[in-house]
């Protein structure tokens, strides 16, 4: 099983600041099969990035993804109030599909 480790666990930032979230895999993952989800309290996760760097429809370009091999990064260039949420990375290239434990982006 591929274990995904996200860091940091919590990111305390102010609106307008830049957020950088990391996702490290225990073994190589094809970037084709790396996704990121955003989850707000009481809501289902929402896909906003797939193939490591492709934004899902409706998500603004302040979100960007990158990475390859075992290291993947999500960057939010300027945090808006609606961006404060929990973010999960996910790999679906190797069974069993796995998720990271999540990074909470909270308002400082």
Partner 1 sequence: QVQLQESGPGLVKPSETLSLTCTVSGGSVNSGSYFWTWIRQPPGKGLEWIGYIYYSGSTNYNPSLRSRVTISTDTSKNQFSLKLRSVTAADTAIYYCARVLLDYGDPFYFDSWGQGTLVIVSS
Query: Interface with partner 1 includes 63 (CB under 8 A)?
Result: no
- Going by their DSSP bridges, the two strands 10-13 and 103-107 should be labelled as parallel
Report CA-CA distances (Å) from 70 to 21, 42, 55, 108.
14, 31, 20, 30
Q: What is the CB-side half-sphere exposure of residue 100 using CA atoms within 13 A?
A: 31
Which residue in 97, 106, 107, 108 binds partner 1 (CB under 8 A)?
97
Pair of tokens at residue 9: 């666990």
Which residue in 10, 18, 27, 51 binds partner 1 (CB under 8 A)?
51
Region binding partner 1 by CB under 8 A among candidate stretches 10-18, 19-27, 43-51, 66-74: 43-51
**How many residues in total does the chain contain?**
108
Query: Interface with partner 1 includes 45 (CB under 8 A)?
Result: yes
Query: Interface with partner 1 includes 1 (CB under 8 A)?
Result: yes
Binding site for partner 1 (CB under 8 A): 1, 33, 35, 37, 43-47, 50-51, 56, 88, 90, 92, 95-102
């Amino acid at each position: 099983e591929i274990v995904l480790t996200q860091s940091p666990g919590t990111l305390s930032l102010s609106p307008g600041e830049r957020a950088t979230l990391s996702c490290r895999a225990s073994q190589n993952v094809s970037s084709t099969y790396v996704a990121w989800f955003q989850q707000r309290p009481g809501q289902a996760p929402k896909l906003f990035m797939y193939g490591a760097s492709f934004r899902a429809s409706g998500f603004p370009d302040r979100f960007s993804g990158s990475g390859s091999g075992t290291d993947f990064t999500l960057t939010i260039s300027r945090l808006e109030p609606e961006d404060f949420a929990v973010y999960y990375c996910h790999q679906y290239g190797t069974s069993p599909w796995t998720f990271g434990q999540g990074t909470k982006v909270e308002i400082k």
